[in-house]
Amino acid sequence: MKKIVVFASGSGSNAENIINYFNDKGNVLVTKVYCNKKGAGIFNRCKRLNKECVLFSKNELFSSDDFINQLKKEADYIVLAGFLLKIPSKLIESFPDKIINIHPALLPKYGGKGMYGMNVHNAVKENKETETGITIHFVNENYDEGAIIFQATTKLEDTDSPEDIAQKIHTLEYEHFPKVIASVIIQ
């Protein structure tokens, strides 16, 4: 049995999708969700799903060995599902090639600091892109620069608003993210 911990910062719809996907699979267990934003939507989702969701601080993430030691007990892999803080080197060193992120664009385009959520979709719209997509990648020390595991694209219409783009991206994320996680974890 492989264990995963999910980090989220916001609504947590991807986290919910991942939890549901692995619920009926016997080989992967989502042990816990961690969130750095008090009151984020993910807390209600976890309550409904009967999954523990723990609030943690940036300080804990960056300076606590206890936190990393705790994670080592709880997780073989860490999945970032809409998690917006940078991952410190110490954590990356403790989980080499075992931290997986999803980015709502076709990296290397629209990556880097400040490029998250609607900021990405607004930029895609502004640049009149004819397609966008998702990138699932390992996390390294630079924002959105780790080795790419998987990408999927979706066509855009002139009439698509940034909200329409966000919806198309979510559809791709829900379809692919859990399966890609499974393919990495279960060798």
Which is nearer to ligand GAR, 77 or 83 (by Cβ)?
A: 83
- Give the type of residue at 138: F
Label each residue of the chain as H, E or C.
Answer: CEEEEEEECCCCHHHHHHHHHHHCCCCEEEEEEEECCCCCHHHHHHHHHCCCEEECCHHHHHHCHHHHHHHHHHCCEEEECCCCCCCCHHHHHHCCCCEEEEECCCCCCCCCCCCCHHHHHHHHHHCCCCEEEEEEEECCCCCCCCCEEEEEEEECCCCCCHHHHHHHHHHHHHHHHHHHHHHHHCC
Minimal distance, residue 179 CB to ligand GAR, in Å: 15
How far apart are CB 76 and ligand GAR at their closest, in Å?
21
| In the block, residue with structure tokens 């723990």 | 54
Give the residue with the Cβ less far from ligand GAR, 27 or 118: 118
* Distance of closest approach, residue 57 Cβ to ligand GAR, in angstroms: 19
103 annotated active-site: yes
Q: Which residues of the shown chain bind ligand GAR in the complex (CB under 6 A)?
A: 8, 10-14, 81-82, 102-104, 116-117, 120, 169, 173
In this structure, are residues 40 and 11 in contact, taking their beta carbons and an 8 Å threshold? yes
Cβ at position 23, least distance to ligand GAR in Å: 17
Of 70 and 140, CB closest to ligand GAR: 140
Residue number with the shortest CB distance to ligand GAR?
Answer: 82
| Nearest to ligand GAR of 70, 154 (CB atom) | 154
Question: Which member of 103, 121, 137, 176 is catalytic?
Answer: 103
Q: Which residues are catalytic?
A: 103
